[in-house]
Every structure is written in structure tokens, then in C-alpha cells.
Amino acid sequence: MKHYQILIIGGGTAGITIAAQLKLKDSSLKMAIIEPSDKHYYQPAWTLVGAGTFDFKETIRNEGDYIPKGVDWIKDKAIGIDPETNMVSTEKSGDFTYDFLVPVPGMIMAPELLPGLTEAMDKGVVCSNYTDPEHTWEVLKNFKGGNAVFTQPTTPIKCGGAPQKIMYLAEDYFRKQGIRDKTNVLFATPGTVIFGVPAFAKTLNKIIQDRNILFKPFFAPVRIDAEKQEITFRYTKPGETNYTIMEGNPLGEEMTGPLEIKIHFDMLHLAPPQATPKFIRDSKISIQEGPGKGWVDVDIHTMQHKRYPNIFSIGDVAHLPTAKTGAAIRKQAPVLVENLIRLIQSGKVGEKSYEGYSSCPIVTGYGKMLLCEFKYDNVQDSDPLISTFVDTTKEQYSMWLLKKYGLPFMYWNLMLRGKA
């Protein structure tokens, strides 16, 4: 059985960034990454692919080109973690033991959690930038008017802002095509507000109002009928026992129960329900009961596991009360690396602390973007340097350029090399 000083599960944004930073700090570390995929995807650009303004091929690179030198690549799937014996099982390569474990496999799409979605996914007028952004672009180009419905599930999702980014771009595209006047653009979310941080919510609420976008909070999708092109929502506002359809009812809403509303769609874009991989959920490293059930049980500041001190985790599978984005990983990784290195060297975990920083670059149209940066408790946390030059609470062309050109460059050349 092969043994590693540090074993990383997952060769996505978190896994590669951590491995690269660890190697830069101490090249003698004996490390491996367990990752089955040949390809590495830059998913933040998929919003732009779905709107026809970024080439999908440009978002894909070879995984092997980014595994840091001196780190073994176990090209396989992890299928089990036993923290009691410090062992990880894989599908084909057997078992591996470790001194320190960093499980960062990312989330998986779980369309089966929304009845009707598996059959409808990425076919006809049902699309998702999360799974096939090129299909989203086809749907947009073929749309001739009617109800364009954008929604998201009740589960945690990667980049909570993504479901609304494509909605703003689609709405802008319909204007450019001259079909906006015969289109209802609906953004339905199980959430309570358009965005959690007040300064950014103010701007987004104004955009929604000015552009006549229908916004429905407390709308949780419960069923999809792809053949009839109908989606059913449950109204989840606390204390409400029934839902009242608006006068005029532009969407043609139909009540199918006191709190159930059926809406016809001529196109539907949604983020599928998402979950942690089964081997994480089934392992003792995940929270066993309660609201965080199935997510890795880490300290929200140090990234160290609460029950197994030789395990650290960040990113999408870690139970952290902030948005699951690449920008969050960029701030989490150095904390994990510093604290883990200290633990290896001195037997005591380091004191570096993560304060919940995440950012959500919300594209609000072609050539316009709002850079929403925040930390724990939805406190605005804008970059002091950028804020000196631009008001990040307003739509900016410069931020669009950052999204389209600056961030992908930084990702491939700096972040994945451990330098950003």
C-alpha cells in the first residue's frame, strides 16, 4: 500500500492551487493528487459561453499540464475515506494511506433531486450553463418570445450568482434581437432577496426594475414537465398559507395547490440541484446530522477539520457559510497551506485565519459587470485597490474586461501555479 505525506483528493481549482502552493513552500513534501479527469475546466467563463461571447474550447486545458512537478497524479476516482486508519480507497488503484488529507473534490450535479429534470436536462428548450453552456447559447439563438424562465434549486450551488448572470445576458440579447417586447423574463429563486449584500442588492434591484424583469423570491422549483414545457414552484415564504396570483398575470401562472404554482416556459435555464460526492457524504469526515449534513466539518477560519486534526478542506465541499466560488478558494488556499505547513513543522496548527471572503462577478449585460465582493455575514469586502479606481457597487465596463480577459489569464497562469 502506497503512503503519502499529503494526499489531496480532487484536481480542480482547490486541489491544484493547494498542491502548487505547498510545493512552492516546501519542495520536499511527498504528495499526490487523486483526480480521474484528463481535462481541467475554467467554469467561471461558462456564463459567457452560454451568451455566445466566449469560446467553450478556450475554457478547457489538459489536467496533466497543471499537476505541479514532483506531485504524483493518481488518475482514479476516490470511493472511500477512513479517517480512523488514515486511508483513502480508489476505484481501480487500491488503497492509499496518508499523514495529512486534503479532500477537495468539488460538488457534483444531482438533477435527480428535482423530478423531471434528468429527462429534460440539456434537451430542447431546457438548458444549464452548469452542464452544457453551448446548448444554452443554442436555446437563446432559437428563442422567439414567450416566457423565459431562470431559476435555481434549494440545495447549495457553485457560484450562487450564476443563475442570474445568464438571465441578465439573455434579457440583453433579446433586446438586441428585437424580441424583448414579446418576452417575459422571470427570475424565480427559493432565496429571500436578489442578493445577500445590501450595497449590491440595491443596484441589482434597480436593474431588475428598469429592465422590467419579473422577480419572484421564495419560489422553490419542485417539478418539471419537459413535454408540456411546464415548471411547478412551491411558494416558501414563512407563515404563508396560500399564494395570490398577480393581477394581469403576464406569466399565465396557474395554481395547482394553495402554495403550488405552475408556469409554462418557452425556455428554461436552471442550476441543477448539487451535492457533495457520495464518498464524502458516506465518510465520517462529513457532518453527520443537522443543516450541514454531508459537508466536510471544518473550522470556518482555520480550514482544519473539527474532529480529525490531520485533515483540512476548502472549496465547494467544505461547510463554510460563504459563496462557493473560485475567488473564495483563492483566499482559502493560502490559509490552509500556511496552517498545514505549520502543523507539519511544529505539531501546532498555524494561526492564519480566513474571514469568509468570496466574490461573485455578476455580469449584468454585454459589456457590463458588477464585482460583488463580500465576507462572512454578508459584509461588503471590496478590494481596496480596485475600489480606489472604480465603484464596484455599480455596473462597469472595466469589470467586464476583467471577467472576460483578466480573470481567465490570472487563473491559468498565476492561481493554478500557486502564485495568486
pLDDT tens per residue across span 128-186: 999 999 999 999 999 999 999 999 999 999 999 999 999 999 999 999 999 999 999 99
pLDDT digit string, tens, across residues 327-343: 999 999 999 999 999 99
Residues 269 and 280 in one domain: no
Distance CA 125, CA 239 (A): 35
Closest-CA residue to 152 (of 126, 112, 188) = 188
The pLDDT of residue 174: 98
Measured distance CA(81)–CA(76) in Å, rounded: 14
Q: Are residues 262 and 129 in the same domain?
A: yes
| Mean pLDDT of the 350-371 span | 96
Identify which of 336, 250, 346 has the alpha carbon closest to the alpha carbon of residue 14: 336
Q: Strand 254-257 and strand 87-90: pairing?
A: unpaired
236 in the same domain as 141: yes
User: Of the residues 67, 208, 268, 360, which is catalytic?
Assistant: 360
Containing domain of residue 246, as a range? 111-273
On the 0-12 / 13-18 / 19+ scale of CB atoms within 10 A, 61 is middle
Please indicate, yes or no, if residue 395 is contained in any of the structural domains: no
CB–CB of 214/250 below 8 Å? yes
The domain boundary, picked from 273, 293, 310, lies at: 273
User: For residue 392, is it within any domain?
Assistant: no
For residue 343, give the DSSP letter.
Answer: H
CATH for 47:
3.50.50.60
CA distance 34 to 37: 10
Query: Which tens digit of pLDDT belongs to each residue from 9-66?
Result: 999 999 999 999 999 999 999 999 999 999 999 999 999 999 999 999 999 999 999 9
Q: Indicate if 350 and 236 belong to the same structural domain.
A: no
Query: Does any domain span residue 363?
Result: no
Same domain, 126 and 265: yes
Residue 385 domain-assigned (yes or no) = no
Portion of the chain with pLDDT greater than 70, in percent: 100
Question: Domain boundary residue among 245, 273, 301?
Answer: 273
Q: Identify whether 398 is part of a domain.
A: no
Same domain, 200 and 58: no
pTM of the model: 0.96
**74-127: per-residue pLDDT in tens?**
999 999 999 999 999 999 999 999 999 999 999 999 999 999 999 999 999 999
Check if 127 is active-site: no
Number of domains in the chain: 2
Q: State yes or no: is 159 an active-site residue.
A: yes
Q: Where does a domain end: 224, 254, 273?
A: 273
* Structural domain contains residue 383: no
Q: Name the grid cell of 265.
A: 416556459
138: Cα within 13 Å, side-chain hemisphere: 12
Looking at 19, 121, 159, 166, which residue is catalytic? Answer: 159
